[in-house]
Structure 1
Amino acid sequence: MCCRGNAESCRHESVRLSRYGRHENSFNNRKMCQLMIRWFEEIVGYFDERTTSGAVEGINNKLKLIKRLGYGFRNFNNFRLRSL
């Protein structure tokens, strides 16, 4: 998919991709096309607003890392202090 930096070209490419995906025999290509169609509004939203969820994803990743490291804590208060 080759979006040229605006929402309209992204819409055009997604329609072309969905037509291609319906006739494709490869399981992986069909799945990829379904994924693109399912997330279409979010993809177009990026080209409209130029915003991502990167900051939220970073916070979630950090909390998961702390949670993995926190299995050795003896009580929840120590884990909470480490998280904050």
Structure 2
Amino acid sequence: MTNRITTVAADMGDVGSLGTGFDVIWAEGSAYSIGFETALRRWRPLLRPGGCLVVTELVWFVGEPSEIARDFFASRTTRHA
């Protein structure tokens, strides 16, 4: 299978030089860092017709996350236009 898969590591906020025609874009817990709507807007043009965007995001499994956890993620969240 490795001869059929090409991985690309790139700045997810600056993907214009990657071209188009990707079958899959996989974003693991990362779209929030540039803003979910921004991520969708920037990544969609990279997909071939019928291609898939797979996105996972942070989900709290407790009613109230600890202050340490909230502060950790709040300090790493930057919104870009």
TM range (shorter): under 0.3
If the length of structure 2 is used for normalisation, what is the TM-score?
Answer: 0.24
Larger RCO (CA under 8 A, 6+ residues apart) = 2
Counting strand residues as a fraction of each chain, which structure ranks higher?
Answer: 2
Counting helix residues as a fraction of each chain, which structure ranks higher?
Answer: 1
